[in-house]
Chains A and B, each alone.
Chain A
């Protein structure tokens, strides 16, 4: 490819080299974690203490400041993983594989968190912990998809093969996700559930919306920081046989 000769490409290659990324990811991870952590704290206090009660759902709606950010972040995570999968398969950037690998547990956690918070929220709203509501059901399928990625990466021993197989599966899942969402929505309307949507379309008052938006932004920061931290670990693990990692872990002085 002619593109592989351009300075931009060479710069990109150097920038994504594991030792370099390991180095530059640290301040970013730290910064994002701090900003995200503080913002999340502010958003939560705002949402828990100062935001008014919902006239329909009472105080249980305050779960929204966890549920919606984690659900939205889990979707965003899926989108970024699909992009990473393309980068991995087309341009064969090692770093993309490492980030992708560590996105899996984070995405899995976010999806699980959205599901659990949704279920707990369901109890005061619907009177039961679980309703086969369209959003919860799609979320559940998304959890299955994340579990699948994790399972195949664990099952294949050769690192490189595991990476590529996972990337393929991510893309297949990504193409399927809108189809799944659409079909679940259709299924849901057909069975006409007698429910209030926990996150309804009703317009929210500003006092609720503001902390919600802040908590979403904060969650994105924390999630990005977590992925960076985990990627740093993945780099250490995969490059453990190299000199620079052993220096990094303080192993070379000892012998």
Chain B
């Protein structure tokens, strides 16, 4: 397992210029909301959790397409599939790596974006925690979608269609926790539900994605 993780990490590191794109995209999407809705700080503070989440969701979607793309094209995937190393192990490594380079990076950006949206500073720790959990679920569930479309050519839009409905609970629980804190009520319920969702997704998704990937290798 460690050698799979190390390989993914090395590959992502050497392609890091590509991985900047979702982060820049995230910043740009967040900038659109004040322009499109209102620059009023008070109103923005109310909208901030939702904006942060929607932007992170879209940025994740953008980066998902590359999860298996290179390995599928160059034949690494079929070498893994015929090697005796379970595909699910590779997928788990890819999920963790994707989260590290996309989810975690988006999470670390969020306080800065939160400031731009007038999100109270006292809420930043919670925002970081919830986004870190939520983006982990994004990467995990996204792996299933990415595995399903790995063999297709123009797959970006299709991937979004498949994955967005599955992301809705994460969006609801994620914004819900921050909104609850913003309103001064307990955020324990949505936060623990989100954590449960993350555990479930991490336990199941690699196997499902492996089944999907086994199909995508066919050609």
Residues of A within 8 A of B (CB): 89, 141, 144-145, 147-148, 151-152, 155-156, 158, 161, 164-165, 168-169, 171-173, 175-176, 179-180, 182-184, 186-187, 190
The binding surface of chain B is classed by DSSP as helix
* A168 to B158 Cα, complex, angstroms: 15
| 0 or 1 for each of B149-169: is its CB under 8 Å from A? (1 = yes) | 101100100100110111011
Query: Which 10 pairs between the two chains have the least Cβ-Cβ distance?
Result: A183-B169, A144-B165, A183-B172, A148-B162, A187-B172, A179-B169, A145-B165, A151-B161, A148-B161, A141-B165
A-B pairs with CB below 8 Å: how many? Answer: 76
Say whether B152 contacts A161, CB under 8 Å.
Answer: no
What residues of chain B lie closer than 8 Å to A190, measured between beta carbons?
176, 179-180
Say whether A165 contacts B215, CB under 8 Å.
Answer: yes
* 30 sampled A-B residue pairs with Cβ under 8 A: A89-B211, A144-B164, A145-B165, A148-B161, A151-B162, A152-B162, A155-B152, A155-B155, A156-B151, A161-B215, A161-B218, A165-B148, A165-B212, A165-B215, A168-B144, A168-B148, A168-B208, A168-B215, A169-B162, A173-B165, A173-B166, A180-B165, A183-B169, A184-B168, A186-B172, A186-B173, A186-B190, A187-B172, A187-B176, A190-B176
* A174 to B179 Cα, complex, angstroms: 28
Residue from B152, B172, B180, B193 having most chain A Cβ neighbours under 10 A: B172
* A183 to B144 Cα, complex, angstroms: 21
Say whether A148 contacts B152, CB under 8 Å.
Answer: no
What residues of chain A lie closer than 8 Å to B168, measured between beta carbons?
141, 180, 183-184
* A187 to B164 Cα, complex, angstroms: 17
Say whether A169 contacts B148, CB under 8 Å.
Answer: yes
* A19 to B212 Cα, complex, angstroms: 30
Say whether A172 contacts B208, CB under 8 Å.
Answer: yes
Q: How many residues of B contact A (CB 8 A)?
A: 30
What residues of chain B lie closer than 8 Å to A175, measured between beta carbons?
204
**Is there a chain A Cβ closer than 8 Å to B126's Cβ?**
no
List B residues 83-97 near A (Cβ within 8 Å): none
What residues of chain B lie closer than 8 Å to A183, measured between beta carbons?
168-169, 172-173, 193
* A158 to B218 Cα, complex, angstroms: 9
**Is there a chain A Cβ closer than 8 Å to B197's Cβ?**
yes
